């Protein structure tokens, strides 16, 4: 990989290495101009890899995949998994799988782990972190699961719910330092990383 070393990065040169509409909307909150590029990587876990190791590796791999195509940019990579008793929950994709997943999650605690990576190709700086957020689902009845899924259709979300929408009504409590980590892009930690790279936030 060949990076041109440039000390100054402007806010016009921030790239979010993601095709996720949820991460895009979150990043828009910071009021910085940016563009999105989808990294083409293999997201399969490695044997023996912990959830924390997985999200750190994938966040960095996404960021590096995009960074190698550009000079003098800041690239943001992120990856998230949801854990139920150390089992990684996949995105349900279908209504039936989402229903089954929420039935399992009723009255259970789930940990969302998000890997975050910021690469500055001008200085070759690489920052990587892992942020956890815990939620507790209340006891869910079959009819309210069905009503919720029909209204919000969260089939592309691990855990089969959207905390930024009606899904919050399914919860008993939320525990963590940054609620945006639950959606997939921890803005508190990301803001700190961007400041470290000389980006002035509004």
Q: Which of 47, 79, 107, 178 is catalytic?
A: 79
Q: From CA 138, how far away is CA 108, in angstroms rounded?
A: 7
Distance from the first to the final alpha carbon of the chain: 33
Q: From CA 127, how far away is CA 120, in angstroms rounded?
A: 9
Strand bridging mode 125-137 / 171-175: antiparallel
Q: From CA 170, how far away is CA 39, in angstroms rounded?
A: 33
Asked if 79 is an active-site residue, the reply is yes
For 131, the token pair is 């942020």
Q: Annotated active-site positions, please?
A: 79
């Amino acid at each position: 990989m060949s990076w041109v070393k440039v000390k100054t990065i402007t806010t016009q040169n921030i790239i979010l290495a993601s095709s996720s509409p949820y991460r895009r909307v979150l990043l828009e909150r910071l009021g910085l101009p940016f563009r999105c590029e989808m990294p083409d990587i293999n997201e399969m876990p490695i044997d023996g890899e912990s959830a924390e190791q997985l999200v750190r590796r994938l966040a960095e791999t996404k960021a590096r995949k995009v960074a190698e195509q550009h000079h003098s940019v800041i690239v943001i990579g992120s990856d998230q998994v949801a854990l139920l008793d150390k089992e990684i929950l996949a995105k349900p994709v279908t209504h039936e799988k989402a229903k089954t997943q929420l039935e399992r999650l009723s009255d259970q605690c789930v940990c969302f782990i998000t890997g975050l990576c910021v690469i500055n190709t001008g200085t070759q700086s690489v920052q990587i972190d892992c942020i956890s957020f815990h939620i507790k689902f209340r006891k869910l009845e079959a009819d309210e699961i069905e009503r919720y899924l029909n209204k919000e259709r969260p089939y592309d979300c691990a855990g089969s719910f959207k905390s930024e929408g009606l899904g919050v009504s399914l919860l008993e409590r939320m525990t963590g330092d940054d609620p945006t980590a639950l959606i997939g892009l921890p803005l508190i930690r990301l803001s700190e990383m961007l400041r470290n790279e000389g980006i002035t936030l509004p």
